[in-house]
Amino acid sequence: MLRIRSELIARIRDVKRVEDLYEYLQNAIELEHATIPLYLTPAFSIKPGYNSEARTIILSVANQEMLHMTIAANILNAIGGAPTMDRPGFIPLYPGPLPMNVHEGLTARLAKLTRGLVSDLLMVIEEPERPIKLRVNQISMLAEPQFAAAPPAFATIGEFYKAIKDKLRALGDGIFKHPSNPQVVDNTWFPNDQMFPVTDFPSACKAINVIVEQGEGTRTSPLDSPGGEPAHYYRLAQIVYGRLLVKDASTKEGYSYSGAPVPLNPAGIWNLYPDAKVVDYEPGRARNLVERFNYSYTALLRSLHTTFNGNPQNLKTAIGMMYELKLLADDVVSTPVMGTDYVAAPTFEYSAVPR
């Protein structure tokens, strides 16, 4: 469960003008974006032909984080703000803290796929406030979660989004009358019950619910989220437990990790250079490819910035750039780093690109 300082929630609740809410929605955009490299890196580390089930799970979560970033940007546009994605500080430094110093002490790292990475980082990011205990492999039970009293100085990401929702309600539908930019909606990529125009409080409330329910789920079902897929925490747990989450009438929860295997063959994982920066690579092929990746990623952010600032038709171009980035990442991770047992790893650093 990600913790956030309660003082931030208090500041949102104290907002008096819609303009004062802009920075918190920008914070939401930056937080949703910051998780995407954390998922893409382990997905990129999977060799072709291996661990396809795990790759599908991780990429499905990454895709929904992109949706969540889009939703936050659409809400900000709907109330007159302007999303900012093309600046050096938009990409956090990895390894390092998440934006807003969420979950103080948690280090977000770009690393190859292991069950430990999934359980110790990715599932921590996605953990609900009250995870549902589910049976594993129809034999052993998960240990009963031990919930200590939340420190008084901290709240949860769910409370962060609830505070934004409450403030949107309090400010009223009038704040949606002067949007700054058109809504970005293309149901080629996401169904219309997940990606839709935000034009008033009810649609903004529904949009925020998509973010929270896809990420955390509900307190009653791991599958009670938009699209009917497991919420992120339970979806990622399938990799840790090595089994798909399926319906199971023999359990009171109605589900267990007892479906088809989710293998994780270490031989099918590239040994990525850990916590790399461009400057760590000697001049040569690996460094050139990593620099090209960073240029391409920065260009993608610039394209997304253009998309959310008055040019929604540019989304198709941005999506095309994402596919090109994937091909470039495949070249990066298959390139040995001279003098080591590692292969190169994308570093997700901002690189100035010609305008």
pLDDT score of 219 more than 80: no
The rounded percent of the chain whose pLDDT value lies above 70 is 90
Best mean pLDDT range from 41-50, 97-106, 146-155: 41-50
Range name among 27-41, 138-152, 202-216 with the lowest pLDDT average: 138-152
The residues, any chain, with a CB within 8 Å of residue 194's CB and separated by 6 or more, are 67, 210, 214, 226, 227
Mean pLDDT of the chain: 90
Dist. CA 279–CA 342, nearest whole Å: 16
| Structure confidence at residue 105 as a pLDDT band (50, 70, 90) | confident
Question: Bigger pLDDT: 156 or 194?
Answer: 194
pLDDT score of 136 more than 50: yes
Domain boundaries, the chain: 3-269, 271-355
Mean pLDDT of 86-94: 93
CB 229 within 8 A of CB 190: no
pLDDT tens digits for range 282-340 = 999 999 999 999 999 999 999 999 999 999 999 999 999 999 999 999 999 999 999 99
CB 344 within 8 A of CB 270: no
pLDDT score of 4 more than 50: yes
Dist. CA 213–CA 192, nearest whole Å: 16
| Structure confidence at residue 189 as a pLDDT band (50, 70, 90) | confident
Q: Exposure string (b/e) for 37-53, b if CB count within 10 Å is 16 or more? A: bbbbbbbbbbeeebbeb
* CA-angle at 270, arms to 268 and 275, nearest 5°: 145
The pTM (predicted TM-score) of the whole model is 0.92
pLDDT score of 146 more than 70: no
Fill in the amino acid letter for 212: V
CATH class of 3-269: mainly alpha
